[in-house]
Amino acid sequence: MDKLLSSSSSIQQQIPKANLHTSLSLSRNKHFVVKKKLSAKYLIYPIVAWFLFILLTIIYFIFVCPWYYHNINKIIPIIHGLFVFYVGQNFLQSMCMDPGVYHPCQVNQRRDEFRLKFETKLYSIEKIDFDVTQCTSCFIVKPPRTHHCRYCGYCIDTLDHHCPWLCNCIGRRNYRFFLLFLFTLLIHVNITFICSLYLIIALRENLLQVKVIVSFILVFCTTILTGLVGGLFGLHVIFVSKNITTFEQVTGKFMDVEQTPFDRGIVQNWLRICCVSIIPKLNRYSTDGACQKCTTDKHLSATNEQETLRV
């Protein structure tokens, strides 16, 4: 940890002073404007996702649940209905929650004058070397596992991926809710599949009833969704167990090592995702040149992984 902080200090001495405004106004920030425009452009994806989720759920509760309410048990559709609200809550939190945005610096100088020119500095985590890198779009020095999202226009802490269906990045702050959404959605889809299939079997002597035909459609749709959502959730179970992000997996960042430097074992990796308190929103930095100092309510380590790393 001390090595990384000392590296940042040495870099800071090599960078010419820039006239920065630390009290930024997001409404006037050009990066924020770009993000809003891009979000509007790709808004069709979450609209389609919400439409399919609501449509299939409504069809299920109109045609299938009444039969269970009157013939099996009244509590089944009630419990399932409450569970659907929990699925929607996780959906909304994944979509609307700040994933861990590092707000960009605003400068009065031309971009070309502000570009940093310094020697590449290295620091080690578990005997693996990392470069001290800069973001030429946000004008900040990026901590490990932080990457710039070209769709959102921000650097995201521990970026996993940008999800077009949520119109949001999945990062350090909302990854837990993204996993919960996949898990609860998978349960909801499977319950719908099982209940629809059971209704078909129970009413197999009269397959021309509307609710039976609708159940066939639901079985078909939920079979496809189970494969898609289940496959995606299974991948993330593997990623969490190894403490690796989708970005790192796709780019092959740790392909040549048996164990990533952030891997603390399956149990600790899952505890980190499920039990560690969510960090507060990352405040803007007090900057000097281009080396920022973190000013969160709780201290955020320079390695981005204080609770799981031995630097």
Asked if residue 196 is part of any domain, the answer here is: yes
Q: Which amino acid is at 229?
A: V
Predicted local confidence at residue 152, as pLDDT: 83
Domains in the chain, number: 1
Q: What are phi and psi of 106, to 5 degrees?
A: -110, 130
Q: What range defines the domain where residue 264 resides? A: 2-293
What average pLDDT does range 261-269 have in this prediction? Answer: 86
Higher pLDDT, residue 167 or 253:
167
pLDDT tens profile 55-87? 999 999 999 999 999 888 889 899 999 999 999
What average pLDDT does range 20-37 have in this prediction? Answer: 39
Asked if residue 304 is part of any domain, the answer here is: no
Predicted local confidence at residue 213, as pLDDT: 94
Asked if residue 300 is part of any domain, the answer here is: no
Predicted local confidence at residue 44, as pLDDT: 85
Asked if residue 311 is part of any domain, the answer here is: no
Supply 297's token pair. Answer: 């309510």
Predicted local confidence at residue 11, as pLDDT: 38
Catalytic residue among 138, 149, 155, 163: 163
Average confidence score pLDDT of the chain: 74
In this predicted structure, the answer to whether residue 108 has a pLDDT above a threshold of 50 is no
In this predicted structure, the answer to whether residue 197 has a pLDDT above a threshold of 90 is yes
Asked if residue 250 is part of any domain, the answer here is: yes
Active site annotation includes 163: yes
Residue 140 CA to residue 201 CA, distance in Å, equals 61
Asked if residue 42 is part of any domain, the answer here is: yes
Query: What count of other Cβ atoms lies within 10 Å of the Cβ of residue 227?
Result: 11
Predicted local confidence at residue 294, as pLDDT: 37
Predicted local confidence at residue 169, as pLDDT: 92
pLDDT band, residue 232 (cuts 50/70/90):
very high
Task: Give, in degrees to the nearest 5, the angle at Cα 304 between 99 and 294.
Answer: 85
pLDDT band, residue 128 (cuts 50/70/90):
low
Segment (H or E) for 52: helix 44-63
Higher pLDDT, residue 188 or 45:
188
* DSSP 8-state symbol, 296: -
Task: Give, in degrees to the nearest 5, the angle at Cα 98 between 97 and 103.
Answer: 165
In this predicted structure, which of 2-16, 97-111, 213-227 has the lowest mean pLDDT? 2-16
Q: What are phi and psi of 45, to 5 degrees?
A: -65, -50
Residue 274 CA to residue 117 CA, distance in Å, equals 40
pLDDT tens profile 152-168? 888 898 889 999 888 89
What is the residue whose two structure tokens read 């209940």?
195
Percentage of the chain exceeding pLDDT 70 = 67
Residue 194 CA to residue 208 CA, distance in Å, equals 20
Supply 32's token pair. Answer: 């924020």
Asked if residue 183 is part of any domain, the answer here is: yes
In this predicted structure, the answer to whether residue 238 has a pLDDT above a threshold of 80 is yes
Asked if residue 47 is part of any domain, the answer here is: yes
Higher pLDDT, residue 18 or 243:
243
Strand (E) positions, 49-206? 101-102, 106-107, 122-125, 128-131, 133-135, 140-142, 147-149, 154-156, 161-163, 168-170
In this predicted structure, which of 77-86, 101-110, 225-234 has the lowest mean pLDDT? 101-110
Higher pLDDT, residue 104 or 88:
88
Supply 200's token pair. Answer: 């078909």
What average pLDDT does range 136-150 have in this prediction? Answer: 80
Residue 114 CA to residue 111 CA, distance in Å, equals 5
Highest mean pLDDT among 2-6, 17-21, 106-110: 106-110
CB 293 within 8 A of CB 285: yes
CB 142 within 8 A of CB 134: yes
Higher pLDDT, residue 56 or 6:
56
In this predicted structure, which of 234-238, 251-255, 306-310 has the lowest mean pLDDT? 306-310
In this predicted structure, the answer to whether residue 24 has a pLDDT above a threshold of 70 is no
What average pLDDT does range 254-261 have in this prediction? Answer: 71
What average pLDDT does range 254-262 have in this prediction? Answer: 72
